[in-house]
Every structure is written in C-alpha cells, then in structure tokens.
Amino acid sequence: MKKKEIYTIPLNPTKFFDFQGNAIRLCTINADAWGINEGNLTVTTTNGADFERKYGVANNKSTSSVSNTALRNAAAELLRTNLIDLYDHSILNNDDISAGDKKALHINYLGGGTGITPAPVTTPMVTLACEQMSVLHANYSDSATPGTHAKPKNSAFCELWYNVGGTPPEGPGDCTVRCNISRSHQRIVFEPQDRSKTVYGYAHWVNKNGKTGPWSGLITAIVP
C-alpha cells in the first residue's frame, strides 16, 4: 500500500517566511516538470511577494507596530490558503517529484499501517459551504461526535477525493482529485471555469499511522 503523504505549514512567522520562500522557489523552478497549475502558482507568487514586504515592515524595529503586525498576519493567512491549494492540487501525491524535493517541501510520509494505532472506525461528516466565489469551505464533524468539529483521536486529517462536473461517481475510486483537510472550514479553491459545476466527493479519516477509516456517503456541492 502506498504511504500517505502529509505536509505541515509552520505557524511561526519566521519559520513560515522561510517555508513559503522555499516552496515558491522550488515550484517555480520545477513548474513544468511537476505539472504545477499555472494559475495557482501565479496567485501564490504574487501573494508571497506581498507577504514578504509586510513581513519586512512588521519585523523592522523602526517600522514595527501593532497595525503592521496585523497586516503581516493577514497576508500570511491569505498566503497559507494559497499554499494549501497549491500543495493539495499540484504537490501532494505527485510522483514526478523526487523524494529529496518532497523532503525539502516539508512533505512527510505517514506510517504504512503497521503501528499499534488501530484504523479509524468512524466516518467524517463533511459539508462544502459556499461563502465566496470559486471557493468551497470543507466543514467536518465525526459520526461519533456530530456536535463538534473535532477529528477522532489519533486522526491526522480527513482525506477528500472528488470530481468536478460530469456524472456522479459510483465510488471513491472514480474520483480523480484528492486533498487533505487538516482543519474544519479549510478552503478548497476552484478554477473560474468550474463555477456552477457540481462537486462530487467522498471522505474518510486517515490516522497518524496512515491507516484509513470507512468512506462517507456521496458529498455534493455547487461551485459558487
């Protein structure tokens, strides 16, 4: 069984500064070889430059202020969303990227399923909420605790497999796009031409050993 890939984007501003610069540089250099989505990379690069400017102002003793720190943090949050979109759609599970480059991109492998942690037995309950143009927010809860947005104990993320448009898939195996939902309300960004199309998907929990739980039922939403 192929090991599950997972990535972590640092929250610390200094570590995030280094992470985003390295990720954007590697993706730019290898864009063609890795099949990087040009639109996603362009937006990420533009917002990366904006974050770096605001980071420099906020971290300079002569210009540091509460307002400039707030601007830096807002730019970081927008860029973090862009990086999640870039990783989920172009980097994660991309066989054209070498193991060395994946390590440089902070991609790690979950265990192959031999650990002592048992596979999840519950199912994610996922809704895709429309809040802004060309974006859906993936909100999840667990079938055992439907009143909260908490993942089951020892779960690493909710893995969503989906298609955009076409006929409803007969099962997860018919879905061609995969992304890791590590927190509820995470954004999934779509192309402009996907607007008004139906998203069809399935989700399951993946634990820290890479073991997977049962699939959810069919999830649907319209791209706004």
Model confidence over 22-68: pLDDT tens digits?
999 999 999 999 999 888 899 999 999 999 999 999 999 999 999 99
Q: What is the pTM of this model?
A: 0.73
Asked if residue 78 has pLDDT above 70, the reply is yes
DSSP class of 65 = -
Contact 195, 224 (CB under 8 A): yes
Which domains are delineated in the chain? 5-109 (no CATH), 124-222 (2.60.40.10)
Looking at residue 2, its pLDDT comes to: 61
As a whole number of Å, the end-to-end CA separation of the chain is 36
Q: Identify any residues that bridge with 108 across adjacent strands, giving them in sequence order.
A: 6
Model confidence over 111-159: pLDDT tens digits?
654 556 789 999 999 999 998 899 999 999 999 999 898 899 889 899 9
Contact 180, 139 (CB under 8 A): no
Looking at residue 112, its pLDDT comes to: 52
Model confidence over 147-173: pLDDT tens digits?
898 899 889 899 999 999 999 999 999
Q: CA angle at residue 145 from 136 to 81, to 5 degrees?
A: 25
Distance, in Å, from the CA atom of 51 to the CA atom of 105, rounded to the nearest integer, reads 19
Residue 98: both structure tokens together: 């070498």
Residue 193: both structure tokens together: 């031409």
3-class secondary structure, 48: helix
Residue 42: both structure tokens together: 């362009």
Model confidence over 181-194: pLDDT tens digits?
988 999 898 989 99
